[in-house]
Structure 1
Amino acid sequence: MEVHHHSHHPKSWKEYVQEFLMLFFAVFLGFMAEYYLEYRAERHKEHDYLVSMKEDLKADLVEIDRGIMGMEKIKSVGQRLEKLLYKPAWSDNEIDSIYILSLNLSATLIKPNFATGTIDQLKNAGGFRLIKNQEIVHKISAYEKWKQTILLQEESNSHNWRNIHLLQNKLLHVTTLGLPEKLNDIRLDKAELERIQKSTGSKFLTSDKKTLYEYANYIWVQRGYVAYYEIMVKMEQQQAKELIKLIEEELEH
């Protein structure tokens, strides 16, 4: 019985080239598809970071506006209080005003609570590399750097506030000030203050003018700190507005 062998013709070089090209393009297209998916994922993350950063900046602007209102109040209240403290004598109403203004001074909030959520993610997750617009990256960095400078100024403010509180405790019968039930709830128990006056002969803990003038000095210093702090915060406010505009332009592309 005859055995028939199938003959295999050797492939031509064209067939080898064709198979190579098919394999190459298959691998290349797979690589491109994976690259495109990764690219789209990164652009989606970039978009999310920019949207989130924009919202944080808007929240910062609200906080800055609130802080500036407090700073203006402190400068105004402080100036009125200084003038009263330097008077040679006071009426009962003026003494009541010293108490109320002192409480207003120490109870007013000026520190903006800056949002940190997005910037923390950008730092910890390496998100900065995803932001293609380098001008945005530089402005975010500058914004954060200036924020740290503001925090240093806050330390100076806090140190002087402590001195003001110490002098208030030396001068005022703080037990006559009612505990607040809500923000800006400033109350003075005038009947209790009059009772203390009848009992001690004075509405103040001390009649030493030097202590009163020292208190006025610390208030003046605090007004100076707050004025400088306000300038710094307004600079940060301007940076936030510029950064929001830049991010919005990038998101529109």
Structure 2
Amino acid sequence: MAEYQLEHKIERDREKQYIISMIKELEADTAQLKNVLNDSVRVHGIDSLVRYINTHDLTNLDTRLLYYYKRKYLSSVRTMNFSKNTLSQLKNAGNMRLIRKKNVVDSLNKLDNNISEIEEQKDLVYYHYQFHVLHGTEIFNEWYYYPDSTRKRDFTNEQQFLNQPVAPPLITKEYQQLLKYASLASNWRGLVRNYHRMLATNYKFSSELIAFIKKE
């Protein structure tokens, strides 16, 4: 009997530690999620570039604006790196059995599935990123982004960029190349937007899960 009680106490202590660790990781994740979701402005910036290309031609577009949009909205993307140590430990070696309440277990399994789906979407975002980037090398001269390519440049905001005296030339002289770039950018925008939508859903779920676990 004493041995059983000791084993029972050990398992309850382990459960408590797992719960504490899980809450800490969820809190860290929600903080990071909030930061990543601030990058949703990128979607609107890509919209602006796509719209600008499709409503202008080579005779009346301002290349300074194209270079600005490309640099600001299409050169990178913020992504989420989830804290999964505790969740992995619970899944491995049957440790999930230590969590006594089924509703908590169900919620953790749902969280795990959500994270897997989000990471699959992130892979798609990264995979399709290469297409507009590679095509962009046929359109934009990266030299213009170098500090010593011209003087007195300021990338603080769009208007300051447009006020620069030098309008950088495009490598291509074919409008169809620009349309293709806009199409690739628009496709990537859709993937990024869906990624952000999934992150927003996870943010809401994780925030509610923290309160739920603490209450339980």
- For the aligned pair, the TM-score class normalised by the smaller chain equals 0.7 to 0.9
2:203 corresponds to which residue? 237
**Cα separation, 1, equivalents of 2:104 and 2:189:** 35
Structure 1 alignment gaps of length 5 or more: 1-31, 180-184
- What does 1:181-200 correspond to in 2, within 5 Å? 194=166
- Give the one of 87, 98, 101 matched to 1:130: 98
2:186 corresponds to which residue? 220
Given that 1:66 and 1:112 are in contact with CA atoms closer than 8 Å, whether structure 2 keeps it comes out as no
AA paired with 1:225?
Answer: L
User: Alpha-carbon deviation of 1:125?
Assistant: 4.3
- What does 1:31-180 correspond to in 2, within 5 Å? 32-70=1-39, 72-86=40-54, 87-88=56-57, 89-90=59-60, 94-178=62-146
SS at match of 1:204: coil
Task: Establish whether residue 211 from structure 1 lines up as the match of residue 177 from structure 2.
Answer: yes
**Cα separation, 1, equivalents of 2:155 and 2:10:** 54
SS at match of 1:172: coil
Q: Structure 2 length normalisation: TM-score?
A: 0.84
User: Alpha-carbon deviation of 1:186?
Assistant: 5.6
SS at match of 1:146: helix
Could you list the per-position Cα deviations for residues 187-231 of structure 1 after superposition, in whole angstroms to 9, with x for gaps in the alignment?
Answer: 8999xx94xx8xxxx700001000001111111112211222222
Given that 2:15 and 2:99 are in contact with CA atoms closer than 8 Å, whether structure 1 keeps it comes out as yes
**CA separation of 1:148 and 1:95: change in aligned 2, threshold 3 A:** same
1:20 corresponds to which residue? none
Q: Structure 1 length normalisation: TM-score?
A: 0.73
User: Alpha-carbon deviation of 1:84?
Assistant: 2.5
AA paired with 1:69?
Answer: N
| Superposition CA RMSD, Å | 2.5
Structure 2 alignment gaps of length 5 or more: 148-153
AA paired with 1:207?
Answer: K
**Cα separation, 1, equivalents of 2:84 and 2:143:** 39
Q: Pick which of 240-249 and 43-52 moved more.
A: 240-249
Q: What is the count of residue pairs matched by the alignment?
A: 204
Q: Which has the higher contact order (CA 8 A, sep 6+)?
A: 2
AA paired with 1:204?
Answer: L
**Cα separation, 2, equivalents of 1:107 and 1:136:** 40
AA paired with 2:202?
Answer: E
**Cα separation, 2, equivalents of 1:131 and 1:234:** 27
Give identity over the alignment, percent.
24
Given that 1:176 and 1:189 are in contact with CA atoms closer than 8 Å, whether structure 2 keeps it comes out as no
**CA separation of 1:186 and 1:140: change in aligned 2, threshold 3 A:** farther
